[in-house]
Structure 1
């Protein structure tokens, strides 16, 4: 066959296949790999300011009224609404009747991608409900409470004003940060008008740094050691601080900018005053934002899991925040945290599972500490984004300045670095101003934002999938004669998180679980209590109200608890068992399903 005839034959075969494909229809595997057909298309390769993010939340709630409600839980210091999405399928029960998961972000104003990550969580849960069976099961079985912007003022200000990557963390109540009796009197200034607060370098014949010969954007430290001529080496430049001037004449620059309180130091667990923990406030819940969040969470005792998103560093953090609080994490609870944390470290590239006080730094009055230690909620803080992902060559270390600039030039096209420009400074004379923009260091580039959001969403959904889930394992009925019947009831929790964590049981946090028996006509309850297992010869009858057994320890994760009842009845007994748990859906079991 010559080349022309071969080409014609291949074309005919190809066209035949193309014509036939629509008749066959897409395969199941192909359908499973399709992009979600969203009612509300949201671009996750960009960031949203406060108003834009609130608008996207409203669109989601409007498009999915059967699963989602949008409401405000309070107002910020400057009067902005704190918008929260509740995601729940009411056809499978009210949100308070199911295990709940709290997910928030952007408690610090500069940690902006936390807001997009929570928004992505809401978007995927709602848009994936009809297309992804695993998402449908999660939403049908649980409730989700999503607050993308804990700090509305900080987020609004970060997008509106010139900032560094590290500012502005705080809430925006005027605060005296430098103890001089004045409020917010010495903040930064954008001296070169580039919309960011960069760094300042001043000429100095005895300076600490010199400009790199190959790349003058890099200022490199000069070692204070003898040079070839025997004299101590000196540089030509010294750091003059972040971009700004000394507005109050105290010899310092930018030491008292806008705001100054830290919402992540204002929670009750191990709260310490400001002289111990800067930004802690006068007392727990002293800020409007933390008070609003606290009121909501305390009104929702069904919340069994918590996730708070921050940036940066690639961390999955659990408490405690100080070593002396370690006793609030019993061995059984640590096993739960360790299993979840290990899964997260596997799912999130360059993230590490860490303990706050020992692997990071001490924190008093932290949010996830309060959730875990104060409320018995299994909770994590994820520090989003790691610069270890900059040049993914298989290494695990942080990049040096040269690698960062290769990243800037080759991948980001210089978008998060401003060239050094000369500016007249009232204190220092001629200075160079520039460096990283507020989008550098702490936030992923937009093209990596969606992956970062999805991987963290997937981790939190794994966490959610391990909230307690109860089922009947066995219900065994035995005729003991003389109208007395023995019932052995086995209740299983197939998931990792117990219905009541050990710390909550030990400290009396929340309410215990209860196992209620409602006897049918002609059935009398004689004795009831827990037993080791169905094969045990004895059990421990409760002395008070056996029809309502207190289960202080709850049903532990991935375990079975057995309860034994002695009932009096002329024939097979009747009635209903109801297992009530604050952080799990109640389980109702008719005695009629018992196996003799």
Structure 2
């Protein structure tokens, strides 16, 4: 009997009801939002939640403000849940927020942290995609719910996935074919690797995601529900016309809301984005980035900035012990690249979690690098039930072939068991505390010289007591960040004889200082206030007495 796609979906949907969620112990985007709202009601002095928009699927897009002096202290922006199949980052943010609320006023470290640094957190930037992990059939969804004609055939959402073996998950299916391009891996036959024709190899299988060809165009699952992959929708190196990148840069509700939030908050000094590709996992190297050309866009971070990005990376790698096998190249249209090249901030990215490199024989040139590492991790942690062994299925598109379904279940490659989330949160909390301690710190001292009766030269020494410059080189190039403004606040009895009402300072490297002077005439003794400030570095003030 020939099975139709509709019958397959009905039968497998009934079978899937018995399946367990692959991310047991995680909370859905809506539940996570509810829990953070509840925390904000319990801790209004340090936590607030702002709903910026609603997504195409109706989920609330929230920005969380965490700190005792929001708007008055330098801020770190944390963007989580950007990649739809990364559920871990949202859970880490929830736990970080919970721990800060619990420990503020009880832990000296957390109290100091929130008194001097603000955290803006987008806990789930792509809730449309993340919600797929909590309903059957479950598949690695990366696109939001904004329906697009991904295969450019005039229809939308007409060729999605089907759970053909009824286990509740969309995995892969392999079809024996003389036109196949895939072979069982000799080291692990459960894995498939590309055949190498130049070495005389001939493929045995065609490889597809699990499903049927609903629109009968000879392609499988090429136009599922959705959507736009938000990690490819930002404006730097935007991949025009690429599948899933959207109609144009920042076309989506989510990415546009994030950008609007960033430009409305000048106090943001640094951006951290959870991403499967990261600039913290290995040391960056300098290259030809066209920094001296005004006609060409930058293609790599500026050399002076790389020095400091690598210093932050050293702190990260010490905590997380990432191996040299971690990828470093950015995805075209990525958030972290936008934050650096177009927003002009210190920008960092790293994966929320990655299975450990447990096989020392692996190399970067291995085409199955990630798959081997993941399979080895599952094997050594007694989680091989998260790999579905290949099993024969009946497929309406291949009635005479021995089609098999199997492979890694969705979400397993980026999301560890829930009982490990607390320990990962602890490391990220420590890293964010380290990053906050590296932010530039304005310090101001003054020197007073009496020139003659009632006339004084006041010299202000403005220093950077942090470990990062007060502005990155890319920030200076973009001329977007507000510069440090230093001014002498004269009283009615004081008159400026020489000097500017205020000065705007260029970037101050760590441990260095800049001096500015005024000559002030005073008709009566009194104090003079000298203050320096910029939204992204905070403020400092010094009072001198003019006798």
Superposition TM-score tier, normalisation by shorter sequence? 0.7 to 0.9
- State whether structure 2 residue 52 is matched by structure 1 residue 73: yes
Q: How do 1:569-584 residues align onto structure 2 when only pairs under 5 Å count? A: 569=522, 574-584=527-537
Counterpart of 1:184 in structure 2 is 157
5+ residue gaps, structure 1, are 1-43, 227-231, 529-545
Give the TM-score of the pair, scaled to structure 2: 0.83
Given that 2:280 and 2:310 are in contact with CA atoms closer than 8 Å, whether structure 1 keeps it comes out as no
Q: How do 1:124-163 residues align onto structure 2 when only pairs under 5 Å count? A: 124-163=99-138
Between the aligned partners of 1:320 and 1:291, the Cα distance in structure 2 is 31
Counterpart of 1:102 in structure 2 is 77
- State whether structure 2 residue 193 is matched by structure 1 residue 238: no
Counterpart of 2:442 in structure 1 is 470
- State whether structure 2 residue 233 is matched by structure 1 residue 266: yes
- State whether structure 2 residue 361 is matched by structure 1 residue 386: no
Aligned with 2:472 (options 485, 492, 501): 501
For residues 215 and 372 of structure 1, do their structure 2 counterparts lie closer, same or farther at Cα, with a shift above 3 Å needed? closer
Given that 1:307 and 1:460 are in contact with CA atoms closer than 8 Å, whether structure 2 keeps it comes out as no
Q: How do 1:51-62 residues align onto structure 2 when only pairs under 5 Å count? A: 51-62=30-41
After superposition, give the CA deviation of every residue in 1:262-286 in whole Å (9 maximum; x if it has no partner): 2223333444532xx4433333332
Between the aligned partners of 2:494 and 2:96, the Cα distance in structure 1 is 49
Counterpart of 2:516 in structure 1 is 563
Counterpart of 1:13 in structure 2 is none
TM-superposed CA distance for 1:371, in Å, is: 2.0
For residues 201 and 315 of structure 1, do their structure 2 counterparts lie closer, same or farther at Cα, with a shift above 3 Å needed? farther
For residues 345 and 110 of structure 1, do their structure 2 counterparts lie closer, same or farther at Cα, with a shift above 3 Å needed? same
Given that 1:305 and 1:464 are in contact with CA atoms closer than 8 Å, whether structure 2 keeps it comes out as no
Give the TM-score of the pair, scaled to structure 1: 0.77
Between the aligned partners of 2:271 and 2:181, the Cα distance in structure 1 is 46
Given that 1:315 and 1:384 are in contact with CA atoms closer than 8 Å, whether structure 2 keeps it comes out as no
After superposition, give the CA deviation of every residue in 1:276-328 in whole Å (9 maximum; x if it has no partner): x4433333332111122222222111111111113368954889999554378
After superposition, give the CA deviation of every residue in 1:41-90 in whole Å (9 maximum; x if it has no partner): xxx9932222222232123223322211123111111221112221121x
Q: Which has the higher contact order (CA 8 A, sep 6+)?
A: 2
TM-superposed CA distance for 1:469, in Å, is: 1.9
Q: How do 1:355-504 residues align onto structure 2 when only pairs under 5 Å count? A: 359-361=328-330, 363-364=332-333, 366-389=334-357, 391=358, 405=375, 407-429=377-399, 430-472=402-444, 474-504=445-475
TM-superposed CA distance for 1:137, in Å, is: 0.7
For residues 591 and 493 of structure 1, do their structure 2 counterparts lie closer, same or farther at Cα, with a shift above 3 Å needed? same
Between the aligned partners of 1:212 and 1:547, the Cα distance in structure 2 is 72
Equivalent pairs counted in the alignment come to 513
- State whether structure 2 residue 163 is matched by structure 1 residue 194: no
After superposition, give the CA deviation of every residue in 1:447-503 in whole Å (9 maximum; x if it has no partner): 43333333233222222222222222x321112225432222112221123333333
Counterpart of 2:65 in structure 1 is 86
Aligned with 1:287 (options 252, 264, 287): 252
TM-superposed CA distance for 1:433, in Å, is: 0.8
Between the aligned partners of 1:572 and 1:555, the Cα distance in structure 2 is 33
For residues 244 and 316 of structure 1, do their structure 2 counterparts lie closer, same or farther at Cα, with a shift above 3 Å needed? same
Between the aligned partners of 1:394 and 1:492, the Cα distance in structure 2 is 49
Between the aligned partners of 1:479 and 1:202, the Cα distance in structure 2 is 90
After superposition, give the CA deviation of every residue in 1:541-578 in whole Å (9 maximum; x if it has no partner): xxxxx112222x14433322222222223676632112
TM-superposed CA distance for 1:105, in Å, is: 0.8
For residues 233 and 560 of structure 1, do their structure 2 counterparts lie closer, same or farther at Cα, with a shift above 3 Å needed? closer
Given that 1:129 and 1:136 are in contact with CA atoms closer than 8 Å, whether structure 2 keeps it comes out as yes
Between the aligned partners of 1:382 and 1:401, the Cα distance in structure 2 is 19
TM-superposed CA distance for 1:424, in Å, is: 0.7
5+ residue gaps, structure 2, are 1-22, 291-296
After superposition, give the CA deviation of every residue in 1:115-148 in whole Å (9 maximum; x if it has no partner): 1122222122222223321211110012111111
TM-superposed CA distance for 1:193, in Å, is: 1.2
For residues 248 and 439 of structure 1, do their structure 2 counterparts lie closer, same or farther at Cα, with a shift above 3 Å needed? same
Between the aligned partners of 1:580 and 1:353, the Cα distance in structure 2 is 42
Secondary structure at 1:84 match in 2: strand
For residues 589 and 428 of structure 1, do their structure 2 counterparts lie closer, same or farther at Cα, with a shift above 3 Å needed? same
Between the aligned partners of 1:511 and 1:241, the Cα distance in structure 2 is 51
Given that 2:181 and 2:205 are in contact with CA atoms closer than 8 Å, whether structure 1 keeps it comes out as yes
Given that 1:207 and 1:238 are in contact with CA atoms closer than 8 Å, whether structure 2 keeps it comes out as yes
Secondary structure at 1:326 match in 2: coil
For residues 493 and 361 of structure 1, do their structure 2 counterparts lie closer, same or farther at Cα, with a shift above 3 Å needed? closer
For residues 490 and 208 of structure 1, do their structure 2 counterparts lie closer, same or farther at Cα, with a shift above 3 Å needed? closer
Counterpart of 2:6 in structure 1 is none
User: Greater CA deviation, 403-412 or 61-70?
Assistant: 403-412
